[in-house]
Amino acid sequence: MTLQELGYNTWFEEHAALQNTKGCAIARITAVDRGFCLVRDALREVPAELSGRMSFGIDSPEQLPCVGDWALVRHCNNDTFAIIVGLLPRRTFLRRRAPGAGAGCQMIAANIDLALIVQSCQFDFNPNRLERYLVMALDGGVEPLVLLTKTDLVPEEEVERKLGVLRALARGKAMSLSNVTGSGLDELRQLLAPGQTCCLLGSSGVGKTTLVNRLMGRDVFGTQTVSGTGEGRHTTTRRQLCTLQGGALLVDTPGMRELGIVGAEEGLEAGFEDIAALSAQCRYADCRHGNEPGCAVRAAIERGELARERFAHHLKLRKESEYNALSALDKRRKDKTFGRLVKAVKKHMRD
C-alpha cells in the first residue's frame, strides 16, 4: 500500500517539506489506545511510542497523536518498532470536550474527509444530539453525512419521516440503510472513494461496528445485540483506522456518551446557517436576540419561520462551547461568581 492510498496528498507533502524530516519516515497513526500507538507506512504497520523530547514538549492533550495523524517516525529494532518524533499539521479534525470534570479537549480523529454520523431508527433517534455531531464535524472542517440505520425494524413511513428530519438538519446530507437487508449499502459504498478517510460517529448500539464489517466484506470486529432497555452495548474499545474493500479508509470509534463541544464558533455558524443569516439582518451587530429592537431572529420566531426549540438549542450549544473553551482557572472564577449570585438571591428571598 502506498502513502497516497493511505490518504497522503500534496497538502501533507507541502507541510512535510517545511519540517526537518532527515532520517525520518512518514507514517500514519492507525490506532491509539491509552498511550499505545500503531503507525503504518507504505511497507509495514508497527507499534510506536513518543520520543522523550516530544513527550516533554507537549503542553496540552490536543497535541498528543490521534488516529489519522501523519507522523514523522524513526524505525528501530529491525523495523519492528517506531519512535514518533513529530506530527504534521492537521488538515481537519474531530474533537470534543474531555470527559469528566477536568478541562480541555480530547482529539477523536485527524485528517478526516467525511464524518459518517450514525443514528438508529429506534431508541437512539435524537435530533438534538445530531446537531452536536454536526457542529463538531463542521467546526473541524469535516464534511458530514448522516446515516439512519436499522430501517428494517420500523415501518417505511416512519423511516421517511425521520429521514426528513435528519435531512433538514444536515442540509440534505442524510441517507437510510439497513445492515440486515443491505438496503442503502451499495449507495454508501459508491460515495467512499479510494484514499478518502471517513470516521464513524454515534452512540453505542446504533450499528457502527456491524456497518464496518459490511463495508469490509467480512466479520473483522465482534458485535453485540442491543440491550432490552434499548441502550447500546460497547463493542469497539479503541479508535482505529481500517481499509475498506473499495480502498477508502475508515476510523471506527467507540460509542460516546458525552459529547461536549469546545470553542466551536465556526461549527455553530455552519451548523446553524439559518440563524447566522438572520443574525446578520439584526439592527445591532452585537444583538443577543433578547429584548433588543430590530432583532431579526426574534421576529422570525414570532412569524413561525424559525422554531423556538431550535433557537433555544443553538443558544445552549453556544453557551456550552464558550464555557468549555475557558481555562480551568476562568471556570472556577465563573462558577464562584455564579455561586455568590445564587446565595444572594436566596438570602434576598428569605428576607
CATH for 306: 1.10.40.50
Is 207 within the bounds of a domain? yes
Is 2 within the bounds of a domain? no
- Per residue in 235-244, pLDDT tens? 545 788 999 9
Instruction: Indicate whether 308 and 222 sit together in one domain.
Output: no
- Residue whose C-alpha is closest to residue 262's, from 304, 320, 190: 320
- CATH number of the domain residue 49 falls in: 2.40.50.140
User: Distance between alpha carbon 88 and the CA centroid of its chain, in Å?
Assistant: 20
Number of folded domains that form the chain: 3
Is 169 within the bounds of a domain? yes
- CATH number of the domain residue 106 falls in: 3.40.50.300
Is 177 within the bounds of a domain? yes
Q: What is the pLDDT of residue 253?
A: 85
In the listed set 33, 65, 87, which residue is the last one of a domain according to the structure? 87
Instruction: Indicate whether 197 and 158 sit together in one domain.
Output: yes
Q: Find the mean pLDDT for residues 251-260.
A: 78
Statement: residue 324 has pLDDT above 90: no
- Per residue in 303-323, pLDDT tens? 999 999 999 999 899 888 888
Residue 60 exposed, middle or buried by CB count within 10 Å (0-12, 13-18, 19+): exposed
Instruction: Indicate whether 174 and 302 sit together in one domain.
Output: no
Instruction: Indicate whether 346 and 278 sit together in one domain.
Output: yes
Instruction: Give the count of beta carbons closer than 10 Å to the beta carbon of residue 134.
Output: 23
- Per residue in 79-88, pLDDT tens? 999 999 999 9
Instruction: Indicate whether 39 and 112 sit together in one domain.
Output: no
In the listed set 194, 227, 252, which residue is the last one of a domain according to the structure? 252
Q: Cα angle at 113 between 137 and 321, to 5 degrees?
A: 15
CB–CB of 282/297 below 8 Å?
yes
Is 5 within the bounds of a domain? no
- Per residue in 159-171, pLDDT tens? 999 999 999 999 8
Q: How far apart are the C-alpha atoms of 16 and 26, rounded to whole Å?
A: 9
Instruction: Indicate whether 322 and 224 sit together in one domain.
Output: no
Q: What is the pLDDT of residue 90?
A: 97
Identify the residue with better confidence: 257 or 301: 301
pTM of the full structure: 0.82
Instruction: Indicate whether 203 and 334 sit together in one domain.
Output: no
The H or E element containing residue 341 is helix 328-350
Instruction: Indicate whether 242 and 282 sit together in one domain.
Output: no
Is 257 within the bounds of a domain? no
In the listed set 230, 252, 274, which residue is the last one of a domain according to the structure? 252
Q: How far apart are the C-alpha atoms of 204 and 202, rounded to whole Å?
A: 7
Q: What is the pLDDT of residue 108?
A: 93
Instruction: Indicate whether 137 and 237 sit together in one domain.
Output: yes
Q: How far apart are the C-alpha atoms of 183 and 180, rounded to whole Å?
A: 8
Instruction: Indicate whether 269 and 241 sit together in one domain.
Output: no
Q: What is the pLDDT of residue 294?
A: 92
Q: Three-state SS for 267?
A: helix
- Per residue in 325-337, pLDDT tens? 775 445 555 555 6
Is 230 within the bounds of a domain? yes
Instruction: Indicate whether 284 and 157 sit together in one domain.
Output: no
* Structural domain range at position 58: 10-87
- Per residue in 197-209, pLDDT tens? 999 998 877 888 8
Q: What is the pLDDT of residue 98?
A: 76
Statement: residue 259 has pLDDT above 80: no
Instruction: Indicate whether 278 and 345 sit together in one domain.
Output: yes
